[in-house]
Homo-oligomer: A and B are copies of this chain.
């Protein structure tokens, strides 16, 4: 037989392929992803996959895009959990907490996005930039809101090399040229949560530093203390479990 009756075949074969790929990645990591194994699992032959993805890298890219969507939803939901204008600090913390929670919930998806666990795969940045920007846009938007409210500490922040018309992130419309510091702050915060989270979920934190949660909470506190100024209308920075020496 060459082609089964359409009534008998799975109508959403493209989705089935991705589902099987995710199952493999969840079980044994992205490095062991195999087109033939996928085909075996869903009962087709390996070349049939090429009707839905031009090659293995295209499948991986599709998986990454889906993972970014899931991650981005998580981020934006966390941001939306504190919608009041005065709650920018809480929004920042919430997105930070959500960042680690998503990474721990889907460690392989996290590594698929932010690591490079697939053998010869090189991410097509042109294709991935939009979803990447949407995901990181939650964090950037929060920081931009802090900046607009005059609560972002921007002294000493290096200027990003960006021309005015060239904006990737979702950023409220302002003419303030100092706004570009927002990008740098976003990168700095992102690199900090990424550093701790990636070391934790890859098991690279030494045995005695098992309590990733405590380290992460401390790090979020430190980030807030570094970049958030107290609001001028009496609302204080969010409560912190530690204090800081005056410097």
Contact = CB atoms under 8 A, between A and B. Distances in A.
Interface stretch (A61-69, A70-78, A86-94, A110-118): A110-118
Interface stretch (A35-43, A48-56, A151-159): A151-159
A234 interface: no
B222 A226 contact: yes
A191 B195 contact: yes
A115 B119 CA distance: 13
Given A168-B208, A183-B208, A209-B183, A215 B188 contact: yes
Contacts of A45: none
Interface string A229-247: 1100000010011111111
Contact of A245 (B31, B184, B229, B240): B229
Contacts of A214: 158-159
> Which of A111, A160, A183 has the largest number of chain B CB atoms within 10 A?
A160
A211 interface: yes
Contacts of A247: 225, 229-230, 237, 244, 246
- Copies of this chain assembled into the complex: 2
A120 interface: yes
Contacts of A207: 168
Contacts of A120: 31-32
B211 A160 contact: yes
A160 B116 contact: no
A67 to B, nearest CB: 14
A32 B119 contact: yes
B158 A218 contact: yes
Given A31-B121, A159-B214, A229-B245, 9 more contacts: A31-B118, A31-B120, A32-B119, A129-B206, A157-B242, A158-B217, A160-B208, A168-B208, A191-B196
19 contacts: A115-B115, A125-B203, A153-B245, A155-B242, A156-B221, A156-B242, A158-B211, A158-B218, A159-B214, A160-B208, A161-B208, A166-B208, A183-B208, A187-B209, A187-B215, A188-B219, A195-B195, A226-B226, A230-B247
